[in-house]
Structure 1
């Protein structure tokens, strides 16, 4: 499973941050690694230099072999919380998707 992390101009994409999030994502989605070919993560700060509630955004797109990609988005007041929330949502979405495949 390949993981690609993208940030907008308002988020500092330090190598340390990227390494940490890559490890968190890999561990969280490990059970799907045989079915998901690629994970794309988009992280951004929607208010740039201004502070505000839920101005950090994370979208995680999972590319499933032989299917259309699925995506989940979460907003939070920190990048860490935005990624954690998006990970929770994408795990539920992948569980639902694969459960439906088993039912057919």
Structure 2
């Protein structure tokens, strides 16, 4: 389950999803205080570098910060969509790729 979050300043992955994908988790090199809307803030200190994310049969490599997310595997912000020239068509509930 991927959440496209227009307010997200970074990109995130749940620890559970990272484990299922078998991606390497490394030290972020700093401690990042992340505000979570459904709970208190959490401190993130781990990162998955070049994590493969497949959206609409296209594969992307994304650096994702690890968080203890529940019911969401990955959070991608609008910056990611913009860089990859992907549009969200809310009226028709679909993503539009270049």
Q: Would the TM-score normalized by the shorter structure come out above 0.5?
A: no
| Higher RCO (C-alpha under 8 Å, 6+ residues apart) | 2
TM-score (norm 2): 0.30
TM-score (norm 1): 0.29
Say which structure is richer in strand.
2
Say which structure is richer in helix.
1
